[in-house]
Amino acid sequence: QGSSTVDEYIRTFTRMCLFAGDAVNTDTKKARKFFKGLNQRIRELVGSHGPMSYADTVSRAQEYITPTGDPRIVDEWIQGLEMIFEVMDCHDRYRMLCAQIQLTRDARLWWNAYWSMRPGEKEGCTWDQFKELIREKYYPSYYRADMERQFLSLTQGTRSVDEYEREFTRLGAFVLDFVGTEAKRAHRFTDGLRPAVRHNIVIHGVQTDARTVAIAQEVDASIRREAIQTPAQPVAQPPAQPKVAQPSKNQKKRKFRTTLDDRRTRPRQIPACPTCGKHHRGECLVGRNI
């Protein structure tokens, strides 16, 4: 089942059974396979009734699409009911009545106790009020705070716009104060986009949520196509510096000897004598009759 609702899981399971062959060729195998795929909490509730046929297992699973303390299941439960109400064109007043019938076990006990302390007020409860009461009961404050933190820090990052939009919608359901109007929702969605995509949204000056998402998807798809079609250019490497050969030890010795020999054979330069003009050491003896 994963993150799917029970109804979505049933539809997927039914479709996959067409290709499963011997794995689901009996009612018992089919029921067991379906049961194993349910989320743990719903599996615990359905399993408490013991072995059942496939049809009964499906029926029990649908029965327990109800608040169980897991905020994710609560949200799926409410969304599933709203889809049914839309198909049935159900009036707001009857939505609340139909929804309370779906409450089971602890949720039903809580619901009855809540209204027993408020006699005469239940008749005026609307569908929106019903959802608010359910969320207050089954959405712990720490969970709401965590969802709010995730929403406010949400950015597109490396996601596609489609992936970002799905996460934005999921988290946005918990922080309606930040996305209570279409303009607020579009503005917050735009802020989280990558700069290249966000720039195009700002240019268009779009204010509607649907149009903002549509343009972002078009721009993101275009950027990704260009990235695929344009091969990455190799990074230019600086030219390698020629290596200077280091003299070996023998070469160093030969050079030292040559220098020493040059010093030995090279005649010393003696300045010319100012008296006789010759090169000699010491005092000049010319003119001294020596």
Say how far apart CA 77 and CA 71 lie, in whole Å: 10
**Mind listing the pLDDT tens digit for each residue in 90-110?**
888 788 888 888 887 778 888
What are φ and ψ of residue 272, in 5° steps?
Answer: -70, 145
pLDDT of residue 1: 64
**Mind listing the pLDDT tens digit for each residue in 27-49?**
888 888 888 888 777 787 777 66
Arithmetic mean of pLDDT, 57-68 = 65
User: What's the pLDDT band for 10 if we cut at 50, 70, 90?
Assistant: confident
Domain ranges of the chain: 6-63, 71-139, 143-228
* pTM score: 0.44
The Cβ of residue 274 has, within 10 Å, a number of other Cβ atoms equal to: 7
Say how far apart CA 149 and CA 141 lie, in whole Å: 12
**Mind listing the pLDDT tens digit for each residue in 227-262?**
787 665 665 566 666 665 565 655 655 555 555 555
Say how far apart CA 1 and CA 33 lie, in whole Å: 12
**Mind listing the pLDDT tens digit for each residue in 186-218?**
888 999 999 988 888 887 776 677 888 888 888
The pLDDT > 70 percentage for the chain reads 77
Say how far apart CA 12 and CA 37 lie, in whole Å: 11
Cβ neighbors of 54 (< 8 A, separation 6 or more) are: 27, 30, 31, 34
Q: If DSSP codes are grouped into helix, strand and coil, which group holds residue 279?
A: strand
The pLDDT > 90 percentage for the chain reads 6
